[in-house]
Structure 1
């Protein structure tokens, strides 16, 4: 195995399973012996790892798994599972805001339709509360591209700084790829099934 082929693995403190690091949430013991989620893996300290599923994080909180893994008594913030989900949601929406500033996203049914038809769109984003008719029309044009519907129209509108955003499309690039990766994590954390989040096709392919 070459260095490029190596995939870092970590052990989940709840399930005991060893798996690629990308599929787990890292925690560290912060000031005051409080457990802190480290979604980007950048905080100093020894990592405590839990598979990136909300139910397993809830189990870790309920069964004192963090203290056992840290080998000392630690405090778990109230609502930690919800906090992690909120951080992932905010991270995804912030990426959409950055894409808006970079000119790499359009919103509105007709503009999105145009990008899909021309091949410029790499990712379709549809509000979770969009009408079924609009969904069907754009899904039919997505042609194998990731289609994300984890966020409400209100959330998309705030992220893009305009009212009533129901449909949006991202141009291919680093921001789009980071967005899809984070959406995959969020969907897995929520244990979503198609069509919530990436389509079943995209989740299976890991794109």
Structure 2
């Protein structure tokens, strides 16, 4: 889910790290569903009901802003894991680690070749003792250029994590991004949040 923060001026903005102060709402919709809700006025109506008629300004490009924010949150997490020495880069190194069972998570750039993905996926299954299971790495909604720029490395096509804790930390922003882009199913709801305690209330459907 993605938190939308309500600014003091009433602007609705994405808060991918859920750190902005003040009132907010958690949404569980894809970008396509969000943009449809904006166009139809359902998002404004749902937020107005959730926040008891408070004046709100919903930008027309909220979908793009939200995807950018979720992408930055995911890449920031990857960068933190890389600086901590947890990220494995390079096809040969990943394949070696994967076959030995030392890979907890495997990812592929959106423009990675099918052949390259198949080889690493096979090594991943061998190491996980999951041959025949269909287990594969995540096809990310980012191409090699975006990954390379974000991580400060050349030609980042495949990447992996050996540490299970790192994999779990990366999975949180990745799931949010993938659900928003439509790669994963999204729950169609908006949940208002208290300004002081951040607790979620009953969901409000916008789809």
With the shorter chain as reference, the TM-score category is 0.7 to 0.9
Q: Take 2:147 and 2:162, find their aligned partners in 1: how far apart are those partners?
A: 16
Range with greater deviation from structure 2 (172-181 or 162-171): 172-181
TM-score (normalised: structure 1): 0.73
1:104 equivalent to 2:95? Answer no
Structure having the higher helix fraction is 1
**Deviation string for 1:5-62 (max 9, x for gaps)?**
xxxxxxxxxxxxxxxxxxx322232021111222333333333332232133223422
| Count of matched residue pairs | 171
Give the TM-score normalised by the residue count of structure 2: 0.73
* Cα root mean square deviation, aligned: 2.2
**Residue 70 of structure 2 corresponds to which residue in structure 1?**
88
In structure 1, the partner of 2:16 is 39
Residue 109 of structure 1, CA deviation: 1.0
Over 4 Å off, 4+ runs: none
CA distance in 2, matches of 1:44, 1:94: 20
Inter-partner Cα distance in structure 2 for 1:59 and 1:67: 17
CA distance in 2, matches of 1:161, 1:44: 31
Tell whether the 8 Å contact from 1:28 to 1:35 is kept in structure 2 after alignment: yes
* Higher normalized contact order (CA 8 Å, seq sep 6+, divided by chain length): 2
SS at structure 1 position matched to 2:183: coil
1:125·1:148 contact (CA, 8 Å) conserved in 2?
Answer: yes
Tell me what 2:187 maps to.
none
Q: Does 1:187 align with 2:168?
A: no
The equivalent residue for 2:103 is 121
Q: In the TM superposition, what whole-angstrom CA distance separates every residue of 1:93-112 from its partner, at most 9, and x where no partner exists? A: 11221122111112111001
The correspondence for 1:149, drawn from 139, 146, 160, is 139
Aligned equivalents of 2:8 and 2:136: distance in 1? 40
Question: CA offset at residue 163 of structure 1?
Answer: 0.9
Alignment correspondent of 1:48: 25
1:171 aligns with 2:167: no
2:50 match: 69
1:140 to 122, 136, 150: 122
Q: 2:151 aligns with which of 130, 148, 160?
A: 160
After superposition, the Cα gap between the structure-2 partners of 1:148 and 1:187, relative to the gap in structure 1 and judged at 3 Å, is: same
Shift of 1:89: 1.1
Counterpart Cα distance in 2 of 1:125 and 1:53: 21
